[in-house]
Amino acid sequence: MKALGNLKHLLLCVILSPLFLNLATAEIIIHIQHPWAVEDTVRANTPIYIATEETGWYPGKVMTSEGGNWYSYTFVTTTKKSTQRIEIMSVIPTAYDNMANRLTYPPATQRQLTMASIFADNTEANEVWITFPTPTSAPVIHFTPPPSKVIAFFNPWETGFPRANIDKLANVTMRKMPDYCGWFCYNYFGDLSSLRVKFVNSKDRRTVYTNSGVGEGDFIDITEALENFDTVWIFPDPLPDGPPVIETTFPGFTGDCGIITLAVTLRDKGESADFGERANVCDGKEKATRGMVQKRLGTDGKPVKTAGACQSDDFHLWYVAENLTGGYTNEICHNITLQKNEDGLYEYDTDAFFPLDDFVYLDEARTIKNPNYTVDEGLDGKNHNFWFTMELSAKFEYVPGQTFYFRGDDDVWVFIDSQLVVDLGGLHMATEGSVDLDDLKLTPGETYTFKLFFAERKCCESNFRMVTSINLRSSSNLFYEKDSSSQIIKYHMKSKRTKSNLACDSDGEIVDTVNADVVYYIEGPSFPSPFQLRPGKHFGDSTIDKYGIVIVATKDSSILKLDTTSFIGVVPGDYVIKYYSALDRSQQGSIPFTIFEVPKPPRIPNSVLRAAYYADNGFGQVNRAEIYLKNTPSIIPDSIQLFWPNSKVSRVVTKKEITIDTANNKHLTVILSKPFDPEITTYIGTNQLGYCYSYDTAFYNPEEILPIRLADSVGPLLKDVIMLERIGSAQDTFLLTFTEKVKDSSVIGKSLKLIKSSGKHFVDANLLQIKADTIFVTVSVHDNERPSPGDSLQIESSGPLVDLYGNHARFDNRPVVIRIRRSPANITKAFYLDKDADGTVDQVQIQFDREVDITDISATFTWVNNISTSPLNGTRIKHGDNGSVVLVDVSGAFNKNVQNITSGIMTVKVEYNQFSSVQKNSVVNDSAAPVVLSALYAPGISSEDELTIPDTLIATFSEEIDSFSTDLPLKFRKPGSGSDYKISLEFLKQKGSEYSFKVTSIESSVYPEIGDSVWINPEKNIADMFSNAQSNPLNKRVLLGFRSTPLKFKFKLGPNPFNPKRQLITITVGPETRTRELLDIQATVKIYDNLGNMVHQDFQKSQNNKNPIVKLVWDGKNLSGKQVSGGTYMAIVRAEEISGRRAETARLFIGVKLK
């Protein structure tokens, strides 16, 4: 078995503690192993309920899970004699019923489970473990737990007991370990895969002990310890509230057992006028009566009856011995044991205080009967010896805050320092009284007497309860054997064993002495409050193994070694070591001693010869100081206060950060655990930057403060690098800022390195000028490299560059990324374009002298006739072929209509976001090619046989044309046709941007018409005055218009006159002159007789628009179809172009001959 020695501790925790706890608590703890867990895995994962009169019936209370299918419940009011039934219940909840699928134990086949049946075989136990072979079988009762792990914890609190708070489980009760005072334990049955625990104070349920000690913190992980051992011991270090220490064997120390054993003297009074049924009742009533005794004790240390008291005249005999048969008296010695309760107070409580029930005989041989022994039946149905008095005499040291409380019957008087403080005289039921010792005007630390006088004078009950914070002592069996044979005095702690082993018999016959297990506390000038001394070495020097106090302790013995000459860290003065029995606080003693001040020599004055700061890193972060002293220091300095770069910023280093050079013990090296801020490479103002503090108690003048002047041994760093924007192939210029001033001339030469992705390159620097803390240099880089933004610059540590103190930069000095300082780019040229050749300028192209950030600029354009744009930016701006070309979309951006304008003076204003006060202005040149705005065709006029006026074309352009070197400047196309036709033109004249041409030829079989398309021929270099030729095949198209030729109609008729019987007369209507214009004409004729009657009308249209002739024919008949008579008739003829543009009317006379 693992850790066999610990098994004893486990058994002590579970076997002996119930006996021990009868005095401290009425709690009863029942542990139950889940009855249905083995047969039903679903139920194993659901809690079980316990139902009793205390918990309430259905559903009762959920039991606390302890792991391993074990559950527990702590009863507070139920007694072990109770016959009330106990039921265990398991449920499997559903979505609609949390108490569904209920099973209960015991089943109908088993008798009821009660406290009386559980504790029938062990009425002393307060804790029990119950298992069930099956859910229907009888329970198996165990007063020791099944195999488990033990968690032992040393209580850090003066009041309250610890409860274990196991992670993922509830708080569980821990039990005192009687053989290990101050220790509490708990048996754990659950999973060990992740076992973590806190401890909670039972008094307030809020105060906790964690992995940080007393106070808030995380759980304490004990998984590993319990995987390999059966028991873990957890205790604070230092006591009482330090962080936890976990050990797997007993640590070797105990605490206060919380027990005071007091010696009392009992006197059996028998029946008399004051005792028994004939006892005098004051005023005929049984009640507490004050004033029966005087305020102070008599000279014999006994209470003195007052003049008006109702007791008999024998009162003075109550507390003195009465001589009986054979030289015996009615006195007997008795021990009363007070147990510390959960409130940290010592308590003794019983409702059956009958200590003389067995005082039947006066002698040990039980041959001489006690004549005063008289019994009566008490309320419990048993006979008791009721009539006795008790006297308790003790001493104590007054500590502010002490209290005393009593409750009982009958008479009780308590005197402190002979002064009456509790006055409960007379025959009465249990009555209480108390005193706050702070009201008595006692002196803290002084020793005072405590006396309690009690009388039980009448049947039929006897109550006695006292609760106090006073550490009373009536006698002590503790003593020590002292060995003074050497400078180190040894105290071997012993305890007397008397024949009766009663506290009041400490001076009786000693039958044995045994080793004593004691707890030590030291008090004195260095300890404001008593300080517990654990076993081990204290107040000394481990390097020479000399200590003021050494405690060698085992489970049942203790030796204290005291060497008053070896104390370290303790001021001289008078001290006392108080020791207490680990089992009984009233058993105590003390060892006074004095620590004398030893004469000390004076210090040898020291001073700092030189010192310097260093930065062992490339960030200029001071982390080390080297200090050289004039003399060897007696000790490592306690602390050194360092400042950097001035007295406003400091660090305090302690011994662990200071080392002495083994080769030169006058040389101190200080390594700062918290370095100063980075990039501070020199001091500001004075170099008085430190103080060295040491306090060596070996000297009568222990304090030494040495001022330190620290030199700057930290090399410079680049702080900022700005490269002026390069224009063309100019030499690069840098603006350098350093973390401190550098020697100007040291910048010249190979002082820098350029770091590019391709590697490092030496840089030659030339000094230009110095402005404030900025140095202007021009640089040339080896390997034909040029610096770029985003590259880094670094000081070349082997180069010439140094600070004012001659310090070079470290080899790993921090590089600085090169920033670019840009200047506003200059406009080298700008021009506007009509990119889609639609006759509207839609783009401006701006050429800068360097790359520009298009997000940083905006452009405003101004054109002819107050035409302008607002500032254009964002999506309207993009780069052209390279970063120095910017294309600005101006389509729709002008404040007026700019359609059909491709020339004119334009200006641009460029503004820069980065340079808010800078703007660049430039003329924007015309790079927009001309387009046709309109085209008008004018057909020529001809006589009958030849053309007298040729066809002409009038074209208007968006701007003036430089020249026409071709006869085909324009292209033509019929609507719906996929091919062009040609018209040869000859320039005639110009009026502004309007040009007139003579048509010299037209492609055969084609003649221009209204609606034909006309545009500039992109193949013929038709350019404006700035040589901007239109080359876009999709340049602007316009519809061909026509200008009508002046036209008169010619009217002919014949034969005239005519004979309708043989002839028809024809009226011919057509143009008077010939034109190449295509015409469609129509004519109407109306013929009237001499009375004005219309006799005929006709209407005709031309059939050929190239030869538009209309013929109107009359056969000489009237509208009724009859032959008209001979005579003269008038014909009114109206001719008109069908389009309605031109019309003419003629009056003609027709002769009709009928012969």
| Angle of CA points 203, 206, 210, to nearest 5° | 110
Q: Which one-letter amino acid corresponds to residue 95?
A: A
CA pair distance 819, 1142, nearest whole angstrom: 81
Q: Which of 1112, 1119, 1118 is CA-nearest to residue 1098?
A: 1112
Q: State the Cα–Cα distance between residues 737 and 770, nearest whole angstrom.
A: 10
930-972 pLDDT, tens digit per residue, is 999 999 998 877 655 555 678 899 999 999 999 999 999 999 9
Question: How confident is residue 597, by pLDDT bands cut at 50, 70 and 90?
Answer: confident
User: Is residue 1119 scored above 80 in pLDDT?
Assistant: yes
| Contacts of residue 1072, Cβ cutoff 8 Å, sequence gap at least 6 | 1047, 1048, 1049, 1050
Closest listed residue to residue 1096, CA positions, set 1067, 1136, 1057: 1067
**pLDDT for residue 9:** 41
Q: Which residue in 988, 951, 982, 950 sits closest to 969, CA to CA? A: 982
Tens-place pLDDT, residues 255-310: 877 888 888 999 999 888 788 877 766 666 677 888 889 999 999 999 999 987 77
Please give the Cα distance from 507 to 286 (Å, whole number).
Answer: 40
Pair of tokens at residue 728: 């063309």
Q: How far apart are CA 1048 and CA 1071, in angstroms?
A: 6
pLDDT at 253 over 70: yes
Q: What span, in angstroms and rounded, lies between the C-alpha atoms of 255 and 155?
A: 8
CB 14 within 8 A of CB 61: no
Residues whose CB is less than 8 angstroms from the CB of residue 327 and which lie 6 or more positions away in sequence, other chains included: none
- Please report the pLDDT score of residue 371 as a whole number: 92
* Separation between Cα atoms, residue 23 and residue 1041, nearest integer Å: 129
**Using omega within 30 degrees of 0 as the cis cutoff, is the peptide bond preceding 240 cis?**
yes
Place of tokens 């039958």: 511
In this predicted structure, what is the pLDDT of residue 932?
97
pLDDT value of position 19 = 33
Whether the Cβ atoms of residue 1051 and residue 1146 lie closer than 8 Å to each other: yes
Give the up-direction half-sphere exposure of residue 253: CA atoms within 13 A in the CB hemisphere.
21
Considering only CA atoms, which of 38, 279, 241, 282 is closest in space to residue 156?
241
pLDDT tens, position by position, 1055-1089? 999 999 889 999 999 887 666 566 788 999 999 99
pLDDT at 25: 41
Helices first, then strands: H and E counts in the chain: 5, 85
CA distance 277 to 181: 46
**Percent helix, percent strand, percent coil in the chain, to nearest 5:** 5, 45, 50
Query: 1002 near 953, Cβ under 8 Å?
Result: no
Confidence of residue 7 (pLDDT cuts 50, 70, 90): very low
Residues paired with residue 652 on neighbouring β-strands, in sequence order? 641
Q: What is the pLDDT of residues 97-140, one digit of tens each?
A: 888 999 999 887 788 899 999 998 888 888 999 998 888 888 99
E strands of 351-387, at which residues? 376-377, 383-384
Cβ partners under 8 Å of residue 332, min gap 6: 265, 266, 267, 268, 356, 359
* CB contact at 8 A, 937 and 1043: yes
**Residue count (the chain):** 1155
CA distances from 294 to 91, 267, 302, 309, 1029 (A): 68, 22, 10, 10, 139
Is the pLDDT at 54 greater than 50? The verdict is yes
> Percent of the chain, pLDDT > 90?
53
pLDDT, mean of residues 174-188: 86
User: Residue 486: its pLDDT value, please?
Assistant: 86
What is the C-alpha to C-alpha distance for residues 757 and 914, in angstroms, rounded to an integer?
29
Give the residues across from 693 on adjacent strands: 639, 705
667 contacts 645 by C-beta, under 8 angstroms: no
Segment (H or E) for 420:
strand 419-424
Distance (Å) of CA 448 to CA 353, 399, 507, 924, 1057: 27, 11, 21, 113, 179
Task: List, for residues 970-1002, the tens digit of each pLDDT value.
Answer: 999 999 888 899 999 999 999 999 999 999 988
The mean pLDDT value for 692-698 works out to 90
Averaged pLDDT, 806-834: 93
Average pLDDT over residues 368-385: 88
* Residue 503: band (very low, low, confident or very high) from pLDDT cuts 50, 70, 90: low
**Which whole number is the average pLDDT over 833-843?**
95
Order of strands across the sheet with 877-879?
857-862, 906-912, 919-926, 827-833, 843-848, 885-889, 877-879
Lowest-pLDDT range of 298-312, 348-362, 437-451, 1004-1018:
298-312
Supply 969's token pair: 């400047």
Mean pLDDT of the 373-399 span: 89
β-strand pairing of 919-926 with 827-833: parallel
Of these ranges, 310-319, 474-483, 640-649, the one predicted with the greatest mean pLDDT is 640-649
Written as six digits, the tokens of 629 are 């002293």
Task: Give residue for tokens 């590697």.
Answer: 759
| CB 520 within 8 Å of CB 577 | yes
Contact yes or no for 1014/971 (Cβ under 8 A): yes
| pLDDT tens digits, one per residue of 415-439 | 999 999 999 988 888 899 999 999 9
**In a 10 Å sphere around its CB, with 0-12 CB exposed, 13-18 middle and 19+ buried, how is residue 658 labelled?**
buried
Q: Is the pLDDT of residue 178 over 80?
A: no
1109: three-class secondary structure by DSSP: coil
For the record, the structure tokens of 579 come out as 């020791």
* For residues 79-108, average pLDDT: 89
Looking at residue 946, what is its pLDDT?
A: 58
By the 8 A CB rule, do 731 and 724 touch? no
Mean pLDDT of 863-876: 92
**β-bridge partners, 1110:** 1069
Please report the pLDDT score of residue 944 as a whole number.
56
Which pLDDT value is given to residue 2? Answer: 29
Whose structure tokens read 């260093």?
Answer: 614
Angle at 540 between CA 534 and CA 542, to 5 degrees: 100
Q: Which of 1060, 1032, 1050 is nearest to 1150 (CA)?
A: 1060
Specify the pLDDT at position 945.
53
Q: Which stretch of 682-691, 931-940, 1098-1107 has the lowest confidence by average pLDDT?
A: 1098-1107
Q: Say how far apart CA 1116 and CA 1154 lie, in whole Å.
A: 10
Identify the DSSP state of 745. Answer: G
Average pLDDT over residues 906-929: 92
Mean pLDDT of the chain: 88
pLDDT at 62 over 60: yes
pLDDT attached to residue 11: 41
Is the model's pTM score more than 0.75? no
- Residues 777-797, mean pLDDT to the nearest whole number: 88
Taking residues 458-475, what's their average pLDDT? 88
Q: What is the pLDDT of residue 967?
A: 92
Question: DSSP alpha helices (H): ranges in 80-148?
Answer: 115-118
For residue 1096, report the phi and psi dihedrals to the nearest 5 degrees: -160, 145
Give the model confidence (pLDDT) of 187-228 as tens digits.
Answer: 898 888 888 999 999 877 788 999 999 999 999 999 999 988
Residue 508: is its pLDDT beyond 90?
A: no
For residue 1013 the two structure tokens come to 């398309």
* Six-digit token string for 804: 């004012």
Q: How confident is the model at residue 1033 (pLDDT cuts 50, 70, 90)?
A: very high
Q: What is the CA radius of gyration of the chain?
A: 63
Q: What is the pLDDT of residue 773?
A: 82
Q: Pairing mode, if any, of strands 718-724 and 819-821?
A: parallel
pLDDT in the model for residue 894: 95
